[in-house]
Chain A
Amino acid sequence: MKVADFEEQWQSLMIQSLAGDEKAYRELLEAIYPVLVRFYIKKVASQGVAEDLTQECLIAIHKNKASWDPKRSFQAWLFAIARYKMIDYFRARERSIKTSAIDEERDQVDQMSDSTGDEAVKELVHEGLAKLPEEMKRAIVLTKLDGLSTEEAAEQENVSPGAMRVRISRAYKRLREIVESEI
């Protein structure tokens, strides 16, 4: 049977759930849980992430039960929330990838100065820092030397956290190029 074939049954269970019927609610959640896991696994290709997303989706459904109109399709409502949760997941992942790219650049510069322990290399890094455009230099000073988080630095510089991430990433890339060219 296709998922669409369960529409009527799920609608009926949801109506009973809205009235406070725990048995019907349990039956509904049991029925939609594996359907949601399958839905997510096609998109994220990971059982663990699919289960996390399913649970997040079910929490959203639980909190927003009243937003479903019993005269309308239950599945359209259900899968719309499922899609919202998936978009949230991909957005969060994209942000995390950007952050880790910055961390990677930062680590490379750290390694250049720390691994050798060579004062000359440290000197080059400082010289490179001085050659950076003012806003790039401030981005590194604030996040590396002053120890501020990207968000705090963004607030101080009066830019969005996204813009600050880009600025830090470019600053480290430029600094690495300057130091490498000197070496």
Chain B
Amino acid sequence: MSKPSKNEFLDQLVGDLKPEASHLGAEARFMFWAVFSFCMVALAMEFNRPLSIEGYHQVETTHYFLEAVIAFLPFFSLGYLAFLYSVPGRGPSRKWLIVALVPLALYVLSTVFGVLFDRPLPEGAMIKGRFLCNVETLFVSLIPIVGLSYMVVRGYAYKKKLVALLIGLAGGSLPVALMHVYCANAPLHILMHHIGPMLLISTIGLFVIPFVISKYSKN
């Protein structure tokens, strides 16, 4: 089939024009996703097993509290970047990508140091942990991951693997952060049962999400 002439081609595009429903910018969509995901994941965890008062004793210690704060940052920083990378011309430079990854790196490193140097548990820590917190972390992370993937597919994500990595880490870090409070525990437990599932789901996402983007986006 021969290539259409310029006029025929433009006629086809104009003839296919449909008014777009009012759409939100990347920031508004990000806020919607962040609030929705936070509420849904917190509700799911609370419904599964309500927040135990025992965990508070550990969260009250300065180090653990700071870790909890840092744990929430990747959800916002990496999630926001995933939105930006789905808008042509707005994907930030590598420098900002590294900056956005710093909180996650800090959180993981702090936990690893806790394991290596055997950081003592404060009195009243929730040593037994939360029943099947690893499985819970894995499953509830699907809420932000599926939500973010859906929104990214509606945009124009060109760097599919990078976006998939950001979606996996951002979505996976929300339950990790909440679990830091809901299942306040020793560094080794956090590393194996909270961070481990997050890395697992991110790795799976790295293979699945690019395929989903290719199949369902309009690129």
Which residues of B come within 8 Å of A, CB atoms?
3-4, 6, 9-10, 13-14, 16-21, 23, 25-26, 86-91, 154-156, 158, 218-219
Contacts and interface: CB of A to CB of B under 8 A. Distances in A.
A20 B86 contact: no
A67 B156 contact: yes
Given A72-B89, A79-B89, A64 B156 contact: yes
A69 B23 CA distance: 8
A143 interface: no
B88 A81 contact: yes
A7 B134 CA distance: 51
Contacts of B158: 80, 84
Task: List the 8 closest pairs (A to B, CB-CB), nearest first.
Answer: A20-B19, A80-B89, A80-B88, A76-B89, A63-B218, A69-B25, A77-B89, A64-B156
22 contacts: A20-B20, A25-B13, A25-B14, A33-B6, A55-B3, A55-B9, A58-B10, A59-B13, A60-B156, A60-B219, A64-B156, A64-B218, A64-B219, A66-B20, A68-B87, A71-B25, A72-B87, A73-B89, A76-B88, A76-B89, A76-B90, A80-B90
Main secondary structure of the interface of B (DSSP, over half): loop
Interface of A: 17-20, 22, 25-26, 29-30, 33, 51-52, 55, 58-60, 62-69, 71-73, 76-81, 84
Contacts of A79: 89
Contacts of B14: 22, 25-26, 29
Contact of B154 (A25, A29, A52, A66): A66
Contacts of A33: 6, 10
A85 to B, nearest CB: 10
A63 B216 CA distance: 12
Main secondary structure of the interface of A (DSSP, over half): helix
A77 B87 contact: yes
Contact of B18 (A20, A29, A71, A76): A20
Contacts of B90: 69, 72, 76-77, 80
B87 A67 contact: yes
Contacts of B89: 72-73, 76-80
A27 B190 CA distance: 58
A76 B25 CA distance: 15
Nearest to A76: B89
Contacts of B26: 69
Contact of B88 (A19, A52, A67): A67
B88 A64 contact: yes
Given A18-B19, A63-B218, 16 more contacts: A19-B20, A25-B14, A33-B6, A55-B9, A58-B10, A60-B156, A62-B13, A62-B16, A64-B156, A67-B156, A68-B88, A69-B87, A69-B90, A72-B87, A77-B88, A80-B88
